[in-house]
Each structure stands twice: as structure tokens, then as C-alpha cells.
């Protein structure tokens, strides 16, 4: 890249003629700014959040009364935004995208000794699921109810050549090693002050 300081200003005073040299300098300025800033992170692209629990499945999402299945606890899809707007993403080429879940905590109403929880980040393209990352969440082996697992979980995605096909992103939760005697349910704790948030952000150029 040329020394950007060579193109840091264009002086225009009253009556200054428009010349090919000044127009070229303007064009060079634009190119230099794009080159200097294009590799930087662009920040959050899309975000979905829940400030209260969903107790009956809505848009595939459920937060309470969870037991032995795999549950979607948050999603970015064609109807997940405010007013059911489309929150799917397309992938710009050669970028790093960060998929992030902010999880307030998991509440388990009983002991369930020996089990653990699996949190997964899923990408869905044309109905095909790809697991971007998984996190195994343990709790203490106390016999009673407990809160645990709160934190921010994320995975990085290199977009490579990019894609114009809409991508859905979701976060799922399941209880592994649950046995027949484990009858208590668990839930994701959510409130106005502790929202469940799922977002995708552009983290900068990958090449």
C-alpha cells in the first residue's frame, strides 16, 4: 500500500479548476481508505435476545421443562427477529465471523449425579446442519438443585470463499448421561437483567 500520508488532503479553494490530477487524488484517497480499513472488524451483524423464558415452543425455541431431548435455546433464522424479521446471514468472502452465546445459567432442579450438559453452536444451510462447536458443562455432584454453566461461549468461523445462501445459526442444549431415575427437569434462567443472547459479529479479514 502506498504511504497514506501522501493522500491525506485535497485542497479546494474558490475557482480551483477540476483537473485529472485532483480527481485521481480523490480516487486514490477512496482506495487508500478502503485498503486501510477493510481488514478491520465490522462488529455485530445480527443479534437475537430473550429477556424472559419461553415455556411453550415458539419458533423452535424452548427454555423450561427440559428433560432428555436436545433443545434449541436460541436461533437466528427467517423469523427470529423483532416482528419475526429474517436474521439469517450470508457470508462475505475471506472474513472471520464470531458466533457468540451469552448464557445466564442453567437451573437443574435435582441432583442427577453423573450427568453433564452439552451446549452446541449449529449452522444450518438449506436444511443441512453443521456443528460449529460444542461445550461440555459440568455441575457439582451435589444432591440438590443448582445454578451453573453461566458464561459467554463462542466459536470462530472462517468464511473462505463466502456464500450468498442464507445461513441459520442456533444454539442447542442437551443433558448427557441422563438415566431413567433422573426425573427432574432443568431450564435456562432468563430475566431482563440477565438476557439470553445469540449474535454473530464480523471479527476482521481472514486473508
Q: What is the pLDDT of residues 11-63, one digit of tens each?
A: 777 878 888 777 787 777 777 767 666 788 999 999 999 999 999 999 999 99
pLDDT of residue 184: 85
b/e map 41-77, b = 16+ CB within 10 Å:
eeeebbebebeebbeeeeebbbbbebeeeebbbbbbb
pLDDT of residue 9: 67
List the grid coordinates of 48: 437475537
Q: How confident is the model at residue 1 (pLDDT cuts 50, 70, 90)?
A: very low
| pLDDT at residue 2 greater than cutoff 70 | no
Domain with CATH 2.60.120.760 in the chain: 43-205
Question: Quick one: fold of 43-205?
Answer: Jelly Rolls (2.60.120)
- Per-residue pLDDT reduced to its tens digit, 126-140: 999 999 999 999 876
| pLDDT at residue 4 greater than cutoff 60 | no
Percent of the chain with pLDDT over 70: 91
List the grid coordinates of 159: 468464511
pLDDT of residue 43: 94
| pLDDT at residue 141 greater than cutoff 70 | no
- Mean residue pLDDT of the chain comes to 89
32-36, 92-96, 101-105, 124-128: which range is least confident on average?
32-36
Distance CA 90, CA 154 (A): 19
Mapping DSSP to helix (H, G, I), strand (E, B) and coil, where does residue 30 land?
Answer: helix
Burial (CB count within 10 angstroms: exposed 0-12, middle 13-18, buried 19+), residue 108? buried
pLDDT of residue 187: 97
Q: In what order do the strands lie in the sheet with 151-158?
A: 43-50, 196-205, 95-103, 151-158
pLDDT of residue 69: 95
List the grid coordinates of 186: 432443568
Residue 50 near residue 74, CB atoms below 8 Å: yes
Amino acid at each position: 500500500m502506498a504511504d497514506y500520508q501522501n493522500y491525506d488532503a485535497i485542497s479546494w479553494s474558490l475557482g480551483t479548476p477540476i483537473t485529472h490530477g485532483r480527481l485521481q487524488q480523490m480516487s486514490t484517497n477512496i482506495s487508500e481508505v478502503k485498503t486501510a480499513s477493510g481488514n478491520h472488524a465490522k462488529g455485530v451483524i445480527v443479534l437475537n435476545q430473550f429477556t424472559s423464558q419461553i415455556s411453550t415452543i415458539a419458533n423452535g425455541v424452548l427454555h423450561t421443562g427440559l428433560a432428555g431431548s436436545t433443545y434449541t435455546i436460541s436461533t437466528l433464522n427467517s423469523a427470529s427477529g423483532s416482528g419475526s424479521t429474517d436474521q439469517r446471514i450470508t457470508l462475505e468472502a475471506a472474513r472471520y465471523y464470531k458466533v457468540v452465546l451469552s448464557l445466564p445459567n442453567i437451573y437443574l432442579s435435582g441432583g442427577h449425579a453423573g450427568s453433564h450438559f452439552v451446549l452446541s453452536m449449529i449452522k444450518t444451510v438449506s436444511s443441512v446442519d453443521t456443528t460449529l462447536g460444542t461445550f461440555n458443562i459440568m455441575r457439582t455432584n451435589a444432591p440438590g438443585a443448582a445454578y451453573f454453566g453461566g458464561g459467554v461461549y463462542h466459536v470462530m468461523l472462517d468464511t473462505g470463499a463466502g456464500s450468498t445462501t442464507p445461513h441459520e445459526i442456533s444454539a442447542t442444549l442437551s443433558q448427557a448421561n441422563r438415566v431413567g431415575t433422573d426425573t427432574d427437569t432443568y431450564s435456562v434462567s432468563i430475566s431482563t437483567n440477565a438476557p439470553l443472547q445469540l449474535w454473530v459479529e464480523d471479527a476482521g479479514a481472514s486473508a
